[in-house]
Amino acid sequence: MNLYNFFYKRPITTLIILIGSGLTFGAMTVNIFRLFAANWKFITTYGLVALHEGALRQTIELIMTGMLAMVVFLMFKFCEKVLIDRMSAFSFKRRKKAASS
């Protein structure tokens, strides 16, 4: 059984993971942009002193956190695709009323 089928058969679990990954991605990206802007301002203001004080290490950590945020986003998109495919496959079947003649 592949990963797609595993999630396709468990829509509630997929929905919970979708919600969690969406919230995590949102929180991570807001935090990354704020920290990266402050770090960039620190580097441009103080130059090599800022890099010596750890700004370069923090920049690398922020890039790695951004990569993790993208993995979480891909998880969100995967769960979204599974749920959309599941909803697309669902059909309402009309019952034909028997003619009472």
* Entry pTM: 0.77
Spell out, as residue ranges, where the chain has pLDDT lower than 50. Answer: none
**Alpha carbon distance 100, 61 (integer Å):** 74
- Determine the pLDDT at residue 67: 95
pLDDT tens figures, 68-84: 999 999 999 999 999 99
Indicate the domain borders of the chain.
14-88
Helix (H) or strand (E) holding 48: helix 48-50
The number of helix segments (H) and strand segments (E) in the chain equals 4, 0
**Alpha carbon distance 72, 90 (integer Å):** 27
- Determine the pLDDT at residue 100: 55
Going by C-beta distance under 8 Å and a sequence separation of 6 or more, which residues neighbour residue 36?
Answer: 59, 62
